[in-house]
Structure formats: structure tokens, C-alpha cells
Structure 1
Amino acid sequence: MFGYSPFASAVDFLRTTLSARLAAARSRDPEEGASVVEWVVITTIVVVLAVTIGVIITNALNQKATTIQNCINSAGGTSGCGN
């Protein structure tokens, strides 16, 4: 009736994978929790650093793109672009 949806199979895969991971996490030794917390903290730090670096690079590229666009728009003038 609605046709094939690739998202439906992706959602099923995610649901199955997450439920298997949750079951495995619940069956582990409680003392392993400390190392899991360490991994979560380390992963959080790495993700925050990656996002921060991505934002910095994106802002720098946007500034350069604006500068280039301004030079193109004022081509033939005496704006001093490219000198």
C-alpha cells in the first residue's frame, strides 16, 4: 500500500541492535561500571573537542568565503582584493 521504506528496515536494525546492547549491559558485572563511566567521559571529551574544532573551521571558512564573495562583487574596483 505505502511501498518500500528504507527507513523502516533501518529502524528495525537499530531497535534490534540497541536491545541486544542493553541486554548485554544488564548482564555484566557491576564492577565493570567504573570503566564504562571512564569511556563515557573520554568519549564526551572527544566529541566536544570535535564539535568545537568543527565550529571553528566552519566559521573560518565562512569568513573567507565572505571575503572572496566581496572581492568578486567589487571586481574592477579599487578595493585592494588580491594585492
Structure 2
Amino acid sequence: MVHPALGYLVTLLGARLDKARREEGASAVEWVVIAAVLVGICTAVGVILTTALRDEATNIGNDIQSP
């Protein structure tokens, strides 16, 4: 016997897949562009955070070493 929640999830997933196949939304190329933009944004944020953390760690290290 299958748990009712599992049956519901399978039915819901099937319905969403059917809708995705019929929907005339964004093409694959548009999704690739959207994904590339998001990756670029995440990379930029990562670089900014890494630089800020490295600079702050250097400042703390210098403060610790100075009398």
C-alpha cells in the first residue's frame, strides 16, 4: 500500500510535467540565458564577499600584531 502523501506527490508531479510540456513559455535558449545571468550574479557576489572578507581578515591580523 502506497502512502497517500506519496500518491499525491506523484500525481502533482505528473500534472506539472504535463503542463510544462504543453506550455508555450520560455524556450530552452531563454532558460540558458537566465541561468547564465544568475551564475554571473552569484560569481560577482562571491568575488565581492571573498575580497571583503580577505581585507577584513588582513586588518584584524595587522591589529593583532601591532602593539
TM-score tier by shorter-chain length is 0.5 to 0.7
**Aligned with residue 48 of structure 2, among 40, 54, 57:** 57
Superposition TM-score, scaled by structure 2 size: 0.60
Offset, 1:39: 2.4
Task: In structure 1, give the amino acid aligned to 2:29.
Answer: E
Is 1:22 the counterpart of 2:26? The answer is no
C-alpha distance in 2 between matches for 1:39 and 1:66: 40
5+ residue gaps in structure 2?
1-5
* Corresponding position: 1:46 with 2:41: no
Looking at structure 2, the residues matched to 54 and 45 of structure 1 have their Cα atoms a distance apart, in angstroms, of 14
Note the residue ranges of structure 1 that are not aligned, 5 or more in a row: 1-11, 77-83
Aligned-CA RMSD value: 2.6
Q: Distance in 1 between matches of 2:30 and 2:16?
A: 16
Count of aligned residue pairs for this structure pair:
58
Could you list the structure 1 runs, at least 4 aligned residues long, displaced by more than 3 angstroms after superposition.
Answer: none
Identity value in percent: 26
* Larger relative contact order (CA 8 Å, sep ≥ 6): 1
